[in-house]
Amino acid sequence: MIPVSGLYEAHLSVCDLDRSIEFYRDVVGLALAHAVPERHAAFFWIGGYQRSMLGLWSIYTSPVNLRLHIALQAELPDLLRAISDLRSQKITPRNGRGDEIDEPSVFPWMPAASVYFNDPDGHSIEYISILPDAARPDIPGTMTFSEWDAIKRA
């Protein structure tokens, strides 16, 4: 087996490529790497030049309506700011179940903090930050960041 060191690229289908380019560039903050108008595609760098890539492909008015998910790694201070930043863009921050949130959710088994939101096509986008704390696989489900913080201090 070849050891895999990371995920280099992922692709999403979108209905309106121009709208999605604006969203991923102006809201998510990804750098547009390359657009291929004749193929109705655009590619964004994730984490800097040549680190990882997101490809967007227009499907026009196709009846295909897939709701896909990608998670974007973020530093914890940025993740903690994500909810107010998303709201300022009129985007609803959510947890993994789809509930609106006021603070990040934590997956104790990892542990990681996350904030989910939807792109214009309904794809689930997640900002995630691995926490420096010890994993707690004994704690089921998820919790709020403040609940996690209280457990750490206990």
Q: How far apart are CA 131 and CA 35, in angstroms?
A: 35
Q: How far apart are CA 38 and CA 117, in angstroms?
A: 30
Task: Give Cα 29 distance to the centre of its chain.
Answer: 11
Please state, as a whole number, how many other Cβ atoms lie within 10 Å of the Cβ of residue 120. Answer: 15
Q: Tens digits of per-residue pLDDT, 20-49? A: 999 999 999 999 999 998 889 999 999 989
* pLDDT band per the 50, 70, 90 thresholds, residue 63: low
The predicted structure's pLDDT at residue 4:
66
Answering whether pTM is above 0.85, one says: yes
Domains and CATH numbers, the chain: 7-63 (3.10.180.10), 67-154 (3.10.180.10)
Q: Is the pLDDT of residue 143 over 90?
A: yes
Our CA angle for 27, 88, 111, nearest 5°, is 70
Please state, as a whole number, how many other Cβ atoms lie within 10 Å of the Cβ of residue 92. Answer: 14
**DSSP states along the chain:** -PPP----EEEEEES-HHHHHHIIIIIS-PEEEEEEGGGTEEEEEESSTTTEEEEEEE-TT-S-----EEEEE--HHHHHHHHHHHHHTT---B-TTS-B-SS-EEETTTTEEEEEEE-TT--EEEEEEE-SSPP-TTS-S-EEHHHHHHHHH-
Q: Tens digits of per-residue pLDDT, 75-134? A: 999 999 999 999 999 999 999 999 999 999 999 999 999 999 999 999 999 999 999 999
